[in-house]
Amino acid sequence: MLASMLIAGIFSAVAGMSLGREALKGITQPDTRPTNNLANRKGDAPRKNELTVLQEDQIITKVKARMGGKITEPAPKAFAAKSAEPQSKLPISVKNEGVFLEVKSVQSQGDSLVLQMSLKNETAEPIKFLYSFLEIKDDQGRILSASTEGLPSELPPDNELYSGTVRIPITSIDKAQNLSLALSDYPDQQVQLKLPNIPVSR
C-alpha cells in the first residue's frame, strides 16, 4: 500500500508539472534592459515623450552654420504705426463751372472763428449767390451758424478776386478739428463749391 501511494504521488506531481508548462507556454518575462529596447526599435520613428539622441557630427554642423550666419531666426512681425490722416494746409481752394473759391486763413478773433475767403468768376456770365444757403459743418456733421461780410451777392465775369469773411461763433465749434464748406449759385445751383477738411485754428 505504501508503494502504491508513493507511485500515485509521483504520478500526480509529474502530471501537475506537465499541465503547468502547457499553461505557461508562450509567456516570457518582459525584457527591461535599455540596450535591448533600443535595438528592437532601431529604424522606427521616435515615439512621443522619447528622448532623441543627435549624432555629434550633426550638432557640430548646425553650430557652425548658426555661427556663420547661415541660419537666421525669423524676425518678429513689425506692427506699422497707424499714421494719422494728414490735415489740409491753408490756403485750400476749389473750382467748379468756371468759379473759383479759396479759403486763405482761419483765425480766432474774439468770440468768433473767422475764415478769410476769395471768389473769382472766370465765366462770361455773372454768378449770383445767396449766402444764407452757405452750409458749414464740423467734423461731427453738425451744421454751424455763420455770417458773411464783404462777399459779393453777384460775382462779375471779370476774372478778378473778391475777398470777404465768414464768421462762426467760437462756442458752437466745441472740439472740432476740421470744418467743411458748401456753396452753390442761386437760383440755378449749377455751380457747386465744396471744401472739406478746413483746419480749425484756435
pLDDT digit string (tens) for 169-186? 999 998 899 999 999 999
Number of independent structural domains in the chain: 1
Res 123: pLDDT: 95
Question: Which residues in the chain show pLDDT less than 50?
Answer: 38-39, 42, 45, 48, 75-86
The verdict on residue 84 lying in a domain is: no
The verdict on residue 166 lying in a domain is: yes
Res 32: pLDDT: 56
Count of C-beta atoms within a 10 Å radius of residue 99: 22
Res 33: pLDDT: 57
Which three cell numbers, joined as nine digits, stand for 171? Answer: 462756442
The verdict on residue 71 lying in a domain is: no
Res 7: pLDDT: 77
55-74 burial: b if 16+ Cβ within 10 Å, else e: eeeeeeeeeeeeeeeeeeee
Cα 92 from Cα 115, distance rounded (Å): 12
The verdict on residue 19 lying in a domain is: no
Whether pTM > 0.85 for this model: the answer is no
Q: Give 155: exposed, middle or buried? Use CB within 10 Å, 0-12, 13-18, 19+.
A: buried
Q: Whole domain around residue 192: which residue ranges? A: 98-196
Res 47: pLDDT: 53
8 Å CB contact between 119 and 99? yes
The verdict on residue 11 lying in a domain is: no
CATH number of the CATH domain containing 181: 2.60.40.10
Cα 172 from Cα 175, distance rounded (Å): 9
The verdict on residue 70 lying in a domain is: no
The verdict on residue 170 lying in a domain is: yes
DSSP annotation of 185 reads B
The verdict on residue 149 lying in a domain is: yes
8 Å CB contact between 180 and 195? yes
Res 85: pLDDT: 44
Res 20: pLDDT: 65
